Structure formats: C-alpha cells, structure tokens
A and B are shown apart, each in its own frame.
Chain A
Amino acid sequence: MINGEFIINTLSLGSLYALLALGLVFVYGILKLVNFAYGEYLMVAGYAMYVFGTFAQLPWYVTMVLAVLIAALTSYLTELVAFRPVRSKSLNAMLVTSFAVSVLLQNAAVLFVSPRSRAVPLPPAFNQSVTLLGVTSPLRNLLTIATAVVLLTALTLLMKYTVLGIAMRAAADKFTTTRLMGVPANLVISVAFIISGFLAGVVSIFWVGRSASVEPLIGFAPLLIAFIATVIGGMHSLLGAVVGGFVYGLLFNVLSIMLPASMINYRDAFMFVIVILFLLIRPEGLIRGGYTEERVG
C-alpha cells in the first residue's frame, strides 16, 4: 500500500494543506485572530481565474498571476477596511468582523456572478500525467509539491534573513515591544494579511484545478482544513502550520486506503475524531511555540 503513488499523493495533498494552514497562521500569529474570511480569498482568486480566463481570454499564466495578486489585494483590503477599524476593540469584535467579511464576499459572488458553479479554464498541463521513477501521477500533483517547496523556501528565507521577517516573528512573540523598536504596527499586520492572501491565491489555483470550477461557497472546505491542520500542528508557530498540513494530508490519505469502501464516505467523521483527540490530549498541537498570547490593541 505504501508505494510511490501513495507517497506522491500524500506529499502533494500535504503541500497544498501546508500552504493553506500557513496562510491562516500568518495572521493568527500576529493578531491572534482566526480569520474566517480566509476561505473567501481563495474564492476570489477562483473567480478571478474564471473572469480573466473566460471573458478576457488571457493566457493561463497571466490569469494565474492575476488571480494570486487579486487574492493578496483582497486580503489587504479586508484588513484595511474591515479589521483595522475594530483592531483596538475586542478580539471578539474582530472575530465577528471576519464572519461578516466572509458572508459579504460569498454573497457578492452570488449576486454579481451566480449562485451556481462556473467553469474555470485550466492550463492543458494540469490534466496531463507523467511517469516519474516508475510512478504515473497527474502533473498537477507534482506541480503542487514543487510550488510548496519553492514557496516554503522563499518564506523561510524571508522570515529568517530580512528585517521585515525578523520584525514579523518578533511581533508574533511580543507585539507591543516590537512597536517600541520602531516597527510600525500597521506594516507588520498588513504584510501578514498580504502573505496570507497570497498563499490563499496560490492554493486556489490547485484547489480550483481539481474540479475546474468555482462557486460562492468554495472557500468553506479549505478554511476548515486550514483550521484543523493548525490545530494538529500548533497555532503558535509557522512550522506548526506546515507540519499540521502535512500530517493532515497523511492522515487523510491513510484513511482513504485503510477504510473499507462502505465507510469511505465517513472519512471526514474520522478526521474530526482525530481532531477531537488532539484537542483532548495535545491542545497546543504537535509543535509548541514559545509565543505568548498577547492581544494586539
């Protein structure tokens, strides 16, 4: 059962989930806010691909770049318009705001596009299969892994070796003290949202790529996966999110091949049982972060 196909599938799914969880944790780390509008950044990117690909007839690579940029921009704008005004209030106010942003964006898609799903044109490469080391797998899976490797490396370098990265790590640790160093609060928060939206946009390409369609509620499942992955991996470090994403992918694939055909529909139920066990036995997740729970005001 543990063969090349399984490994590539798991790495591909894990890569996707790791990027997904990372996007959620970037904002959580600094604002201590679980941004429930996160899935909608993914949806916006999906609709961007639909609009630019179907109506503007742009080449797929331009469409993809635009989609990712629009997701990052949407994330930044929600921070600017919705979250910044309530930031100094309570954390609950921000949480409710994130629900509001989520519902607003979903309904905007229903109103201005359609409640039904729309077909998204995809690059031909997405449906090709390649044989590598005797294993045949969809090229899309290999692209997912490659994208994750590139992005995780780039983000690691950014966080480790740039002042902005150091400041963001410091802000996740002690926000007020970071400001006392002269680091503008708005800067680190905006950058966190932009990176979060960027990751949602990248994931959207592969997420939408599976079904080649987009619908207003497409953001819910990825939000849930990102949330569960961070519960498994730990909400207090970026590493935790990545580990959680891969562990989620692994558990999901193991369940897929272990469960008898009659129970495969209950796969999600088993995943939730695992999450509950995690919450009971190791609520801080696999990776313990050294971060304190300081609220940003």
Chain B
Amino acid sequence: MLAIRELQASYGAIRALHGISLEVKEGELVALLGTNGAGKSTTLKSICGVLKPTGGSVEFLGEDISGKKPETILKRGISLVPEGREIFTSLTVAENLRLGAFSSYERGRYQQDLEEMFSLFPILKERFAQPGGLLSGGEQQQLAIARALMSHPKLLMLDEPSLGLSPTMVDLIFDLIVKLRERDTTILLVEQNAERALKIADRVYVLNTGTMEFSGTPQQLESELDIEAVYFGGADDSSCEVTL
C-alpha cells in the first residue's frame, strides 16, 4: 500500500533522514520506533507532504506522492494524527470534526460518521459543543484521532499518540488502536512507548539517527536486538547492526 524507498529529508543544512525504506501493506499495523531525534516524525511529515523530501520516493497505492501538497495527499487517503494532537483549540469539538470531513463530506454519510465516532469515543458526544481547548490531553487525543478518521483514510498515521497522557489514558488509546486495526484500518504508528507498540504491531521498524536499524516482526526484534540499548543510549554500532 505504502512503499518508501531511499527517502531523504533535511531541515535546512541538517540531514534528518539518510535514505530510509519502509513498507506498509494493506490491513497491517506497522510500528515505527526510535529515540528522540531518530527521524520518526520527519518520516511521517515527509509522507503526508508537510516536509518535501530531498531524495527517494514515497509510493502510495502505486502512485508516487513524494513532494505533493498535504491537501492532495489527504485526498489520496493518508491521514495523520500529528504529534502533540494539534487540536484547533478555538474551534468546538463539532467544528474540529467537521473540518476532518472537509474532503469527504456528504450530507447523508456525515451524520452516520459522527454517530460512529460517538460510539468509538463517547466523550466526544458529551463535549460536542465545547471548544477543543477545554478538553483534557486524553480527550484531545481522542478528538485528534476521530478528526483524522472523518476523512475515511485508507492509511492512518499516528504520531506519538500516547505521549504525555496518564497511564489509564494510554491504555484507552492503545485499546482504541487495536479496535481500529480490527476494523481493517491500515495503521502506521510512531511511538516512544516501544513495549506497548510491540505488543500490538504486526511488523516493526526501528530508526536511529536517520537510518533504518531494523525491520521485522516484534518477535524478531525482541530476540535480535537489545531494545534498551536503542532506547536508552549506550548502544554501540555492532549491537544495532541487525538486518533482515
């Protein structure tokens, strides 16, 4: 479904991605792991068009989408739940969701979609008329995910959905991701919470300072790579040289 080949990206003179490759097949839940500054968010930004790649290609459903505008890529079926949730704080929950459906709006279906979101995220029904800024962190994350789902994405990308949330909220968000996966949503999940992500992912990639260190199943990762080394530093190069 999504195939990234030799993707390069930089912020000015600083190169953030040194030619990474990654693939997401239809119906899969793929986790992209790595430390701070490894290039996870940069990868997602390059896919959704916020950042123009400086090299390589991003192919989605057989079409090259690298360098296209964010609004075009959304229409092709990729929706991003951005890091930090990025709720429109001055807009109500209702307005946030309405914008999520900007490209997919059909009068009949919209109400149906809303009902579906209410069943997945009951809190949003309660908060429907309130400004997004008054929601708690966990509620905002739910709104961000619901907003992204309103466009009926073929591929949902989540950037650190559990970041800064209370443990109960983290549980709720991960349960939700599992639920979405069971509804056949294809998901690319970026997480710092590697342990939780590995439990639910079909396949996993590990990024380290802009290069792909590992790709395989969670079981392979656990056996072949010292996760703690990747996450808490102290990993010498040899311990990270795992290829498949």
Q: Which residues does A use to contact B, with CB under 8 Å?
A: 163, 166-167, 169-170, 173-174, 176-185, 289-291
Contact = CB atoms under 8 A, between A and B. Distances in A.
Interface string B139-163: 0000000010001000000000000
A174 B88 contact: yes
A166 B105 CA distance: 14
Contact of A182 (B82, B91, B95, B102): B102
Nearest to B89: A290
Given A181-B147, A182-B75, A182-B151, A169 B90 contact: yes
Interface of B: 48, 50, 69-71, 74-75, 79-80, 82, 86, 88-91, 95, 98-100, 102-105, 133, 147, 151
Given A167-B99, A176-B70, 4 more contacts: A173-B91, A180-B74, A180-B86, A185-B71
A170 B89 contact: no
Contacts of A173: 88-91
A53 to B, nearest CB: 42
A167 B147 CA distance: 14
B95 A166 contact: yes
B232 to A, nearest CB: 32
B133 A163 contact: no
B71 A166 contact: no
B10 to A, nearest CB: 15
Contacts of B71: 179, 182-185
Given A181-B99, A181-B147, A170 B88 contact: yes
A167 B95 CA distance: 9
A170 B91 CA distance: 7
B74 A181 contact: yes
Contacts of A169: 88, 90-91, 95
Contact of B105 (A163, A178, A184): A163
B70 A179 contact: yes
Given A163-B105, A170-B91, A177-B86, A182 B133 contact: no
A185 to B, nearest CB: 7
Closest 4 CB pairs of A and B: A182-B103, A182-B74, A179-B70, A177-B86
A289 B90 CA distance: 9
